[in-house]
Amino acid sequence: MPVLPGIFTHIRPLVAVGALVALALGVLVGVTVFSSLFGVVLIERAGISRCRELIRSRFAATTGRVLYVGYSIVTGLIVSAVASVIGAGLITSVLQAVVMIPALVFQIAVNLVTYAELRNRENRSVSTRTLAAELSFSPAMAVRATR
């Protein structure tokens, strides 16, 4: 029996290293996918591999911008915690709406700006008009957006 506790003392560093590797992979995948996924799917109608292509040369700057979006996640956690303490009701719903709607609008705006910046870094001829033309669903709207 004395051998068993000795085995567990050697496992702790391995678990810590494994947790750090998992965290690093989570940040890598999260930044790659969630920073440009909305633009890639809505505008380009492409997949996750296109997100990786866009992020490849601007990973550090994009990571900083995505961490800035972490504000909305933290805000959501705080509001949920306060709502659980207060209980369900009108005041809780109003508090959640007042705090979460601006946070979500901020998150969407940051994702859109990140996608536009990544596209421009990839191809300098891409501008707001180009993105608007790609987003339009009818040929008439695409012609008006490029004028």
Residue 7 confidence class, pLDDT cut points 50, 70, 90: low
How many C-beta atoms surround the C-beta of residue 72 within 10 A?
19
**Nearest to residue 40, comparing CAs of 106, 108, 110, 119?**
119
Percent of the chain with pLDDT over 90: 6
Model confidence pLDDT, tens digit, residues 84-115: 777 767 777 787 778 778 888 888 888 888 89
Q: What pTM was computed for the model?
A: 0.69
For residue 10, give the amino acid letter: H
- The full set of domain ranges for the chain reads 3-146
Q: What is the pLDDT of residue 1?
A: 47
Q: Are 107 and 75 in contact (CB under 8 A)?
A: no
For residue 80, give the amino acid letter: S
